[in-house]
């Protein structure tokens, strides 16, 4: 009985075993077109926010104390160079000038008399020198008083437009008190704070600007040699073209050069999208190998590859729908 059981056991085990998988026929080779990824070195541009400012701008202040008797100030009013805008009344300065002129006349008479006496041998040369010194002091006093009196007539230092006025007729001014603000209109600049991480440029080089959607060719006029410790940026000033349709305070983008970058480029037809994934098939050893990539836009009909591919790799163009990872391929023109 035991011998019968032992003989039947192999047959039972063989009958209960599952059949193995049937062999699958290998997929036929896919006919594909291919191209090679390339590299290109391009100049990188970093937009930096800036503001249009006039090269000529000033806040004009009083230099002497006086009463405002006349004012031609009005915000937005254009003015010419040297135009009289504010007149002050300072009686003590006028009196000081009158006194200095009287002293000068006396010194001139004394000097003339001493020279006449010296010619006659009636006075020593030292007296003539003393009279000459008094004459020079009197002349300096007159020049000083005339200069102070000129400060009561405030003129425009350059042609431009008034942007702010701070005094009216009847106001009393003091030295250093602002009277008005003036901005030029003929020479404009773009001011911007460029991050210290960006390359520094030498004054005089060309820097492009974007103003109201229009690209302008500017020229770097000034760049701070040191960065601000709070913002880690450098102040730059860029001259705008003379024919730029810009105004003071207008927003402008400075297109600052940020160095060169080497891009990996693949033909646009090599990249396909499946859901949230971007993929490429690379041909290696006669087979198609699936790669997930990250793209960074397009450039002249080619796709910029940020990750997933290297330069010089062969990629499949116009991806066939049935192509699978590991499938053999045949290259066609």
pLDDT at 21 over 60: no
And the tokens for 115? Answer: 């020279």
Least confident of 18-27, 75-84, 228-237, 258-267: 18-27
Per-residue model confidence as pLDDT tens digits over 307-332: 988 888 988 888 788 888 888 888 88
| Last residue within a domain, chosen from 183, 200, 235 | 183
Is residue 74 one of the residues assigned to a domain? yes
Q: What pLDDT, on the 0 to 100 scale, is given for residue 26?
A: 60
Which contacts qualify for 282-286: CB closer than 8 Å, 24 or more apart? 282/309, 282/313, 282/314, 282/315, 282/316, 283/32, 283/34, 283/314, 283/315, 283/316, 283/329, 283/331, 284/314, 286/328, 286/329
Is residue 20 one of the residues assigned to a domain? no
Do both 96 and 165 map to the same domain? yes
Domain span holding position 287: 30-43+262-331
Is residue 15 one of the residues assigned to a domain? no
Is residue 166 one of the residues assigned to a domain? yes
Is residue 24 one of the residues assigned to a domain? no
Is residue 7 one of the residues assigned to a domain? no
Do both 114 and 130 map to the same domain? yes
Do both 69 and 157 map to the same domain? yes
Per-residue model confidence as pLDDT tens digits over 102-128: 999 999 999 999 888 888 888 888 888
Per-residue model confidence as pLDDT tens digits over 27-54: 688 888 888 888 888 888 899 999 999 9
Do both 273 and 124 map to the same domain? no
Is residue 23 one of the residues assigned to a domain? no
CATH number at residue 131: 2.40.50.100
pLDDT at 194 over 90: yes
Cα gap 57→50, rounded to integer Å: 18
Number of domains in the chain: 3
pLDDT at 2 over 50: no
Split at pLDDT 50, 70, 90, the class of 211 is very high
| Last residue within a domain, chosen from 258, 287, 319 | 258
Do both 252 and 138 map to the same domain? no
pLDDT at 3 over 50: no
Split at pLDDT 50, 70, 90, the class of 268 is confident
Is residue 179 one of the residues assigned to a domain? yes
Q: What pLDDT, on the 0 to 100 scale, is given for residue 27?
A: 66
The DSSP annotation for 145-179 comes to HHHHHHTTEEE-SSSEEEEEE---TTPEE-TT-EE
pLDDT at 233 over 70: yes
And the tokens for 134? Answer: 């008094």
- Residue 68, CA distances (Å) to 90, 92, 164, 176 in order: 9, 15, 17, 15
Q: What pLDDT, on the 0 to 100 scale, is given for residue 216?
A: 92
Bridge partners, residue 234, by sequence: 194
Q: What is the pTM of this model?
A: 0.63
CATH number at residue 229: 2.40.30.170
pLDDT at 7 over 50: no
Do both 120 and 99 map to the same domain? yes
Q: What pLDDT, on the 0 to 100 scale, is given for residue 18?
A: 43
């Amino acid at each position: 009985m035991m011998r019968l059981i032992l003989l039947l056991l192999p047959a039972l085990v063989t009958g209960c075993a599952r059949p193995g998988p049937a062999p699958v026929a290998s997929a036929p080779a896919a006919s594909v077109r291919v191209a090679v990824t390339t590299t290109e070195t391009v100049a990188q541009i970093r937009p930096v926010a800036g503001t249009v400012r006039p090269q000529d701008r000033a806040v004009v202040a009083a230099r002497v104390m006086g009463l405002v008797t006349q004012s031609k100030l009005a915000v937005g009013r254009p003015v010419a160079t040297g135009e009289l805008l504010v007149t002050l009344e300072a009686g003590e300065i006028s009196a000081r000038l009158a006194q200095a002129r009287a002293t000068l006349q006396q010194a001139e008479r004394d000097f003339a008399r001493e020279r006449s006496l010296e010619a006659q041998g009636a006075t020593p040369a030292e007296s003539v020198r003393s009279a000459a010194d008094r004459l020079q002091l009197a002349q300096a006093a007159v020049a000083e008083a005339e200069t102070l009196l000129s400060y009561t007539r405030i003129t425009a230092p350059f042609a431009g437009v008034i942007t702010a006025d701070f005094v009216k007729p009847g106001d009393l001014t003091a030295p250093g008190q602002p009277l008005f603000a003036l901005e030029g209109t003929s020479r404009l600049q773009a001011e911007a704070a460029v991050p210290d991480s960006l390359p520094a440029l030498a004054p005089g080089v060309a820097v492009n600007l974007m103003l109201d959607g229009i690209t302008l060719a500017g020229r770097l006029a000034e760049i701070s040699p040191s960065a601000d410790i709070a913002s880690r940026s450098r102040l730059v000033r860029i001259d705008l073209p003379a024919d730029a349709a810009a105004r003071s305070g207008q927003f402008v983008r400075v297109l600052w050069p940020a160095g060169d970058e080497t891009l990996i480029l693949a033909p646009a037809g090599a990249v396909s999208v499946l859901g949230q994934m971007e993929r490429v098939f690379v041909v290696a050893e006669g087979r198609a190998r699936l790669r997930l990539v990250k793209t960074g836009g397009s450039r002249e009909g080619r796709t910029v590859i940020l990750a997933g591919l290297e330069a010089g790799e062969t990629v499949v163009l116009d991806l066939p729908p049935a192509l699978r990872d590991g499938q053999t391929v045949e290259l066609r023109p």
